Chain A
Amino acid sequence: MTIEEVQQEIIADFSVYEDWMDKYTYLIELGNELKPIDDAFKNDQNLIRGCQSRVWLQQKMEGDHLIFEAESDALIVKGLVALLLKVFSDRTPQEILDADPQFIDTIGLRQHLSPTRSNGLMAMVKQIKLYALAYKQISSQKK
C-alpha cells in the first residue's frame, strides 16, 4: 500500500465513529495495542520532550527502508503515534519526505498536531522527517 492509501484506510476506519468519545476510545485501543519499545530505547537521546506528554522515537535502516518504533506515556498520544507509524514506518526516506500526515486533520484531531509546545507529536513528525532526510543524504553520498 502507498502512504496515501494507508491514510485513506485510517480515515475510513475513523469515519465509522460519529461520537467523539468513541473516536477517542478507538484511539486509546490503538494505543494499548501498540507494541511497547524496548526499555533500552526509552532514553534521553530518543526522547522528544513535550510539556504535556513524552514521546520516544527509535529508528533503524533495514535495506532501503526506514523503520520506526515509538511510544508515549499518554495513551491518546500513543494511539496517534500508532497511526503515524502506520503511515511513516517501513518506507523509503523519499516516501517519508514526500508524505504529509493530513489524515490527522481529516479525522478531526488537528489540535494534537498544533505547534504549541504542549505535546511531542509535532516534534515527532519533524524528527521522522529529519531522520529521513539524513538517511537520504547518507545513501546519496554512498552512491
Chain B
Amino acid sequence: MGFNFQDIRKDFPILDQQVNKHPWVYFDNAATAQRPKVVLEKIREFSVITNANIHRGTHDHAIRTTEAYENARDIVKDFLHAEAREEIIFTHGTTESINLVARSFCEKFLTAGDEIIVTEMEHHANIVPWQMACERHQAMLKVLPFSDKGELRMELLETLITNRTKIIAVAHVSNTLGTVNPIEEIIRIAHTHHIPVLIDGAQSVPHIAIDVQKLDCDFYAFSGHKIYGPTGIGVLYGKRALLDTMPPFLGGGEMIEQVTFEKTTYNELPHKFEAGTPHYVGAIALGTAIQYIQSIGLDKIANYEHHLLNHATKQMKALGDLHIFGESPSKTGVICFKLDQIHPFDLGTLLDQLGIAVRTGRLCADPVMDHYHVTAMTRASFAFYNSEEEIDLFIKALQRIRSMF
C-alpha cells in the first residue's frame, strides 16, 4: 500500500468529526490509538459472519475461528521476529503481561533477600506488579534513576546489580518523556550477570520495528489498542526456555492437560498461559492491525512520525516559556510539556474546547512527576494519521489559550 497520507486518513473515518464545534484533533495516541476500517471490519466479521469458541469444537465455525486465532499468533510471531509461536502468549494487555511474569517468574525464581531492578521512568504497570512480588517474597526493589534530560543514568546500572538481582524490567519507550531507552545495552549488561530482562513495549511497538531475537530480551510485552487494534488484547513474548520453567499464572480451562481432584497436569506452551476463553476476536483483529501497518511500512511510519515530532517540538519551543519534559536526542511519539504557569487541567480543558484532545494528569507515572516536582503534566502524542496542519492548529490554540491567563 505504501504511505499515502490522504488514503490513511480515509482508513480512519472516526477522525472526520467535530468536537465542541471544532475539527477533532486527536493527540492522545499514547493513551489509545484509533482503529482502521480493516480492523473494524474484522471485528464485525467475527461477530456477524463467523463465531464460535476456539480450541473446543470440531464444527465448522469452531475450526475457522481457531484457525484465525492461531494465524494471528503467527502474525505476531513474525512481527516480533520471535523464533517459535510457543513464545507468543495472548493476554489482555501490557499490564496483564507484566503481572504474568511478576507472578509466575517470581514464584519460581524469587526468594527472600533477592532483588528486582526497575527504572524511575516506568509506568505504574511496570512498577506495581514488581512491588507486589517483592512484598510476597520479601525481596527488594531497586530503582535506576534518570537525568533531568530524561535519559537513564546508565552509569549507575552496574552499581545496582548484585548477585541477588533476579530480573530487570524497563520500558522501551517512556510514556511521559518519549525517551527511547538503550535496551540493547541494558540487556547486554544484564546477561553478562545472567539476569533476564523484561521490556515494556507498550509505547514502542507502534513506532519502532522490534526483533526480539536481535534484542535477545527475555520478555517483551505490548498492548493491542495502542497499535491500532482493539482494547482487551495484548501480547507477552517470552523465551521458550524461561516460559517452560515458569508455573501457570491463571488456572482454568484450556491451560490444562488433564484434571483430576488428586492432580492436575498443565498444557504446553503457549496454552499453559492462556486460561479461559481468550478475547479471540481481539487477537484476530490485532493480527489485522499488524498486517495493516506492515502494508504501509513501519519504517515509513517511523520516518513520518519523527518528522511530526520535530515539527511540533520546534513550533512549541518557538512559543517561548514552554518547557518540554524529556529532551533526549533519541525520542519518539510523545511530548510532555508545561506552558507558562498554566495548570495542565486548565490547559487540557481549554484545548478540548477547541477540539484538541491531549492527556493531562499524572500519566500513571508518579515517580516521573515527583522527579520534576510537578503535580501533573500535559502530554501530546502523535500517530501517523496526524498531520502538520493539526500541529499548527494546536500551536495556534496554545497561543490563544495563553492570552486567557
Chain A contacts to B: CB under 8 angstroms: 20-21, 24-25, 28, 51-54, 73-77, 112, 118-119
Q: Which one of B82-90, B199-207, B251-259, B342-350 is at the A interface?
A: B342-350
In the complex, whether B375 has a CB less than 8 A from a CB of chain A is: yes
Q: A51-B362, A118-B361 are in contact. Are A24 and B343 (CB under 8 A)?
A: no
Distance between Cα atoms of A76 and B350 in the complex (Å): 9
Q: A52-B344, A74-B343, A75-B346 are in contact. Are A28 and B361 (CB under 8 A)?
A: no
For the complex formed, measure the closest distance between the CB of B1 and the CB atoms of chain A, giving whole angstroms: 38
Using CB atoms, name the residue of chain B closest to A20: B353
Chain A CB within 10 Å, residue with most, of B344, B346, B350, B405 = B346
Contact of A21 among B353, B361, B375 (CB under 8 A): B353
B345/A52 in contact, CB under 8 A: yes
A21/B350 in contact, CB under 8 A: yes
A52/B20 in contact, CB under 8 A: no
B328-365 toward A: CB 8 Å interface, digit per residue (1/0)?
00000000000000111110111001100000111000
Distance between Cα atoms of A25 and B353 in the complex (Å): 12
Q: A28-B405, A54-B375 are in contact. Are A74 and B20 (CB under 8 A)?
A: no
Give the B interface residue count (CB, 8 A): 19
B404/A25 in contact, CB under 8 A: yes
Q: A52-B360, A54-B375, A75-B405 are in contact. Are A119 and B345 (CB under 8 A)?
A: yes
Which residues on B sit within 8 Å (CB–CB) of A24?
Answer: 349-350, 353, 404
| 6 nearest CB pairs, A to B | A74-B343, A74-B345, A52-B345, A53-B345, A76-B346, A51-B361
Distance between Cα atoms of A77 and B361 in the complex (Å): 14
Using CB atoms, name the residue of chain A closest to B348: A52
B346/A74 in contact, CB under 8 A: yes
In the complex, whether B56 has a CB less than 8 A from a CB of chain A is: no
> Within residues 90 to 122 of chain B, which ones have a CB less than 8 A from any CB in chain A?
none
Using CB atoms, name the residue of chain B closest to A109: B349
Q: A52-B344, A54-B375, A73-B375 are in contact. Are A21 and B400 (CB under 8 A)?
A: yes
For the complex formed, measure the closest distance between the CB of A70 and the CB atoms of chain B, giving whole angstroms: 16
Contact of A53 among B376, B400, B404, B405 (CB under 8 A): B376
B404/A21 in contact, CB under 8 A: yes
Which residues on A sit within 8 Å (CB–CB) of B404?
Answer: 21, 24-25, 28
Distance between Cα atoms of A51 and B348 in the complex (Å): 13
Which residues on B sit within 8 Å (CB–CB) of A54?
Answer: 375
Chain A CB within 10 Å, residue with most, of B342, B343, B361 = B343
Distance between Cα atoms of A97 and B189 in the complex (Å): 63
Which residues on B sit within 8 Å (CB–CB) of A77?
Answer: 345-346
Which residues on B sit within 8 Å (CB–CB) of A52?
Answer: 344-345, 348, 360-361, 376
A76/B362 in contact, CB under 8 A: no
Which residues on A sit within 8 Å (CB–CB) of B360?
Answer: 52
Using CB atoms, name the residue of chain B closest to A19: B353
Distance between Cα atoms of A77 and B349 in the complex (Å): 10
Using CB atoms, name the residue of chain B closest to A24: B350
Which residues on B sit within 8 Å (CB–CB) of A112?
Answer: 349
Which residues on A sit within 8 Å (CB–CB) of B350?
Answer: 21, 24, 76
For the complex formed, measure the closest distance between the CB of A57 and the CB atoms of chain B, giving whole angstroms: 17
For the complex formed, measure the closest distance between the CB of A135 and the CB atoms of chain B, giving whole angstroms: 30
Which residues on B sit within 8 Å (CB–CB) of A73?
Answer: 343, 375
Distance between Cα atoms of A76 and B360 in the complex (Å): 14
Using CB atoms, name the residue of chain A closest to B350: A24
Distance between Cα atoms of A74 and B344 in the complex (Å): 8
A28/B345 in contact, CB under 8 A: no
Distance between Cα atoms of A25 and B401 in the complex (Å): 9
B251-290 toward A: CB 8 Å interface, digit per residue (1/0)?
0000000000000000000000000000000000000000
- For this complex, 5 residue pairs linking A to B, each with C-beta atoms less than 8 Å apart, are A24-B353, A51-B362, A52-B348, A76-B346, A118-B361
Which residues on B sit within 8 Å (CB–CB) of A76?
Answer: 345-346, 349-350
